[in-house]
Amino acid sequence: MQMTDYHSRRLGISFASVGAHLGWVYLATEIVYEFGRTEKEDWLRGLVSSQFPDLVRNLEPMDTKTLGTFSERERDFKINIMRLPEGEVPVFVLVVQEVEPELSERNWEDLSNQVLTFCATGISLREKNILDFQTITEPIRKKMELAFLREIQSGVIAFFHLQDLSPFFKPLGVVKSQEILREVTATLHKETKDNEFNFQLNPRSYFLFCPGETLDGANQRFGSLYFPSKHLILDYKLKIFPIDRDILADPSRFSAIFIENF
């Protein structure tokens, strides 16, 4: 199973778990992921396309909007669309579900996380394009900026590039593969202080942001870190990058860190 296949399945499970009859992910006006089918697909595409100018201008990140309703095979459906945090390229997720019940804020947040992870692995592997990476990394950059609004002026990003896990995914299956990734995340959580946060771009790329940390301090903290998983000790490469206000102020320069170490 390739990484993109794995994340496609994860995203499909996410759509299914919120009761979606159909789900689409838009990068700008292009559909880059489709879940489910509808007999009114052409009509639905036209409906969304006609409202894109208004959605781009007026829909705020993490806000949802109901585009309408329709009936199919004696079932009533509603069409909801959410805008995800992004950079220069708008990212939207569309969900067609039965009229009741409404999706909770937590449902939308979980779905958003899966969509952004899928975009980072699927789109950027297909076209390693800085604009796509800016779409994915912009929320991360803004979150880091908040850490520098106070007395902290600099820090580091620790990049952990794990061994290729894809050979394990197929024989272990989705559930066991998810357990491996959860254990990796749990290890990072244990190393993450209260003012720090970690994030994942794909099954091999994990980042830990440490505001106020120095290169020497980060090397001492993470130089001997290991990732136990079941009967395995996962191998990885560690790179540590200094980061300050100047880097965060330049989206292209910030995104380049992730492109070069994806």
Residue 171 structure tokens: 């024989």
The shares of helix, strand and coil residues in the chain, as percent rounded to the nearest 5, are 45, 30, 25
Task: Spell out the per-residue pLDDT of the chain, length 262, in tens.
Answer: 344 566 677 788 888 888 889 999 988 778 888 898 888 889 999 999 898 888 888 888 888 899 999 998 888 999 999 988 765 567 899 999 988 888 888 788 788 878 877 776 555 444 444 445 566 677 788 888 888 877 788 999 999 888 876 676 667 665 666 677 778 888 888 888 888 888 777 667 788 999 999 999 999 999 888 887 766 778 888 999 999 999 988 887 887 777 666 5
Task: Give, in order, the Cα–Cα distances in Å from 37 to each of 28, 173, 196.
Answer: 21, 26, 41
Q: Is the distance from CB of 198 to CB of 209 less than 8 angstroms? A: yes
Residue with tokens 């036209």: 46
- In angstroms, the CA 255 to CA 247 distance is 10
Which residues lie below 8 Å from residue 60, measured CB to CB, with a gap of 6+? 83
- Which residue segments constitute the domains of the chain, with CATH numbers given? 3-126 (3.30.450.30), 130-260 (3.30.70.270)
- What stretches of the chain show up as alpha helix (H) in DSSP? 3-17, 41-58, 105-118, 124-126, 130-147, 166-191, 215-222, 245-248, 251-260
Nearest to 153 by CA among 216, 241, 243, 252: 243
